[in-house]
Amino acid sequence: MHYTDLVASSKPTTAQMLGQLSAIGMSFVLALAIGFGGGFWLDLRLGSKPWLSFLGFFLGLTAGVLNVYRVMRIWTASSAHTAGGADPQGPTP
């Protein structure tokens, strides 16, 4: 057995979990900032204040929520896989 196999099969430490969660939070905030910033910039260029800022904010919010959903879905599937191969969707009838 290799060292990488031992590390991959072990449970994540608290520091690793905090690192992953902070990365999720930063990506959410970054998606909001990029969406709003792009909408605000377009508002300044096109003179359509504040409509494109609102649109950019909500597009950024949607992108951030989808990103968090994808990451959490992958994270729960991988943690269920390492916990014994349980199906993350639940038992099948």
Cα gap 64→61, rounded to integer Å: 5
pLDDT cut 90: percent of the chain above it: 49
Cα gap 12→4, rounded to integer Å: 13
pLDDT of residue 80: 77
pLDDT of residue 59: 98
pLDDT of residue 78: 76
pLDDT of residue 79: 75
Cα gap 59→40, rounded to integer Å: 13
Poorest-confidence range of 7-11, 23-27, 37-41, 57-61? 7-11
Q: Which residue has the higher pLDDT, 76 or 30?
A: 30
Give the model confidence (pLDDT) of 62-85 as tens digits: 999 999 999 888 888 877 776 665
pLDDT of residue 34: 97
DSSP conformation letters of 12-81: PPHHHHHHHHHHHHHHHHHHHHHHHHHHHHHHHHHT-TTHHHHHHHHHHHHHHHHHHHHHHHHHHHHHHH
